[in-house]
């Protein structure tokens, strides 16, 4: 379940599925395309959604060597 505009999204709603897919793509890209390792685990504090809900961002992710 996720929140959007003060409402909860259930896992069968299209917006929730879209966000989940985008996050999985981001994790896949970080796993297979990055030569850096994470210093800290990624949490919900690192997940940001644009105002209109069509872009999902990972921000403030700490990478090491």
- Cβ contact 56:48 at 8 Å: yes
63 within a domain of the structure (yes/no): no
The answer on pLDDT for 4 being more than 60 is: no
9 within a domain of the structure (yes/no): yes
pLDDT value at position 42?
Answer: 92
Please state, rounded to an integer, the average pLDDT across all residues of the chain.
85
Q: Which domain holds residue 42?
A: 2-58
Higher pLDDT, 22 or 2: 22
d(CA 34, CA 27): 10
65 within a domain of the structure (yes/no): no
- Tell me how far CA of residue 28 lies from CA of 7, 9, 23, 33, in angstroms: 28, 24, 9, 8
The answer on pLDDT for 21 being more than 60 is: yes
- Note the pTM of the prediction, 2 decimals: 0.74
What is the count of structural domains for the chain?
1
């Amino acid at each position: 379940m996720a929140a959007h505009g003060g409402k909860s999204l259930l896992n069968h709603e299209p917006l929730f599925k879209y966000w989940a897919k985008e996050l999985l793509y981001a994790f896949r890209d970080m796993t297979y395309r990055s030569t850096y390792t994470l210093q800290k685990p990624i949490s919900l504090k690192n997940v940001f959604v644009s105002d209109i809900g069509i872009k999902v961002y990972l921000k403030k992710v700490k990478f090491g060597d």
